[in-house]
Amino acid sequence: MSNEPDPRRWLILLTGLLAMTAGCTFQYGIAYLIPALRQEGLSLELASVLVACPTAGLLLTLIGWGAAADRWGERVVLSAGLGLSGLVLLGARQVHGVPALGVCLAVAGAAGGSVFAASGRLILGWFARRERGLAMGIRQGAQPLGVAIAAVTLPTLGVGGRSAPLLFLAVFSLVAAAAVVLIVRDPPRPAAAPGQPRARSPYRQPVLWRIHGASALLVVSQFTVATFALVFLVDARHWDAATAGRLLAVAQACGAGARLGAGYWSDRTGSRLRPMRVLAVTTGVALLALAAAAVIRSPAAVVILLVCGVVAVSTNGLAATAIAEYAGSAWAGRALGIQNTGQNALAAATPPVLALAIGSIGFGASFALVALFPLAAALVVPVAAEAASGASGASGASGASGASGAGPAAGQVPPLMIDKRRHS
């Protein structure tokens, strides 16, 4: 059997990127309909609740989608979830009233949750560890890329109402589902040796829990910028929505590049969590600078806002790679589901809570409070545990992947994240 990596892995990665971009354009880009919703007479608070509905629906299904991916594979899960999400969004164009629209958005979000568990497992299966940080960075670039697409399209399409934006989102999801069916193939799964015990839960140790916690704290700053950057430019800086959307699209595209850069950085240094801590601190400092600029009404606030938009999204790929590697292929789907559940729980709460805060204390003070979350995340990231694991597992680094560049066998912990449980 050849030890050469399978060249199909890049095409499969790009298809997974398309799938996740479609999901993220809807899931996280719906905030760019806030100006249109407010023109229809909705308050900022009520419009923000609608923005949170897809994320609320996502929370109900993420772990289930991850378990389904562990059981039946990524191709089925990705195509089924995206296809169902697209169909629900088509139906949402015909509903009337805020409650009915909210239900449709929540159901579509629940269906689209498949991309957040399954596409990460594809990378664990098809890519060797030396490429995995970059590959996961490419995959995680779908979130800012999706938001950038939404920033360019939804404010313009929303001028005539909600129907055209929902049609765009539905078609995007359905096209991505079809591409998955045609192109994606599940990675080979090494057969367990006769008599080999089932993989033990990686949650017996605190490392995964700490990564989950840090990631959840970091998502508050990410969603603050993603949701309220447009509102800040329109309300505080008096920009028109279309121009602001185009500028923020550039920032999101740069954010996608930042995720690639962070992944490449982690591959070169052999660490996922040290770069994650550095970027968390940088995000907190940038938000404090934005708060100060907003308070004094400085024109520099626009530039600092763009910096925040780039750096705040840069850590997701690092955390997802660390989670998948530590969990191993037998637990990766569920672990990524738990990861995304924690992140999206705070993501769902961020828009309505921050809308109330902005209404009460203004943009500057609200941004200063949000800065505390990434700074706290920097303290939670288990860098020392990763360093100890990497030192213990360095001797096994050459055997992590097989002919296809696949990840560790079921239950095997990758070299960078040797499971200290085996020595206890």
pLDDT digits (tens, 9 = 90+) for 76-105: 999 999 999 999 999 988 888 888 989 999
Average pLDDT over residues 347-360: 86
Range of the domain at 391: 8-187+203-423
pLDDT tens for each residue of 220-266: 998 898 888 888 898 888 888 778 878 887 887 788 788 888 888 98
Q: Tell me, what's the pLDDT at 260?
A: 85
Q: Which of 227, 86, 96 is nearest to 169 (CA)?
A: 86
In a domain, 394, yes or no: yes
Q: How many helices (DSSP H) and strands (DSSP E) are in the chain? A: 17, 0
| pLDDT at 401 exceeding the cut of 60 | no
Domain count, the chain: 1
| CATH number of domain containing 266 | 1.20.1250.20
Cα 24 versus chain centre, distance: 8
Does residue 194 belong to any structural domain of this protein?
Answer: no
231 Cβ neighbours under 8 A, 6+ residues apart: 34, 44, 358
Tens-place pLDDT, residues 142-166? 877 887 888 888 888 877 777 888 8
pLDDT at 195: 53
State the angle between helix axes of 207-235 and 241-269 in degrees (0 to 180), rounded to the nearest 10.
Answer: 160
pTM value > 0.75: no
Q: Is residue 270 part of a domain?
A: yes
- Cα(108)–Cα(254) distance, rounded to whole angstroms? 28
Q: Report CA torsion sign: 229, 230, 231, 232.
A: positive
Q: Give the model confidence (pLDDT) of 163-207 as tens digits.
A: 888 899 999 999 999 999 999 888 776 555 555 556 677 788 888
Residue 413 in this model has a pLDDT that exceeds 50: no
- Is residue 116 over pLDDT 70? yes
Residue 196 lies in a domain: no
Give dist(CA 360, CA 379) in Å, integer.
29
- Count CB-CB contacts under 10 A for residue 306: 21
| Averaged pLDDT for residues 110-116 | 89
Tokens representing 310 are 């780039």
The torsion region of residue 346 among left (phi > 0), alpha (psi -120 to 50) and beta comes to alpha
Domain contains 209: yes
Decide if pLDDT at 57 tops 50: yes
Determine the Cα–Cα distance for residues 314 and 298; give it in Å rounded to an integer: 26
Higher pLDDT, 399 or 18: 18
pLDDT at 22 over 70: yes
In a domain, 67, yes or no: yes
State the burial class of residue 46 (Cβ atoms within 10 Å of its Cβ: 0-12, 13-18, 19+).
middle
Tell whether 231 is covered by a domain: yes
On whether residue 192 sits in a domain, the answer given is no
Tell me the C-alpha distance between 130 and 272, whole Å. 12
In the predicted structure, residue 419 carries a pLDDT above the cut 50 = no
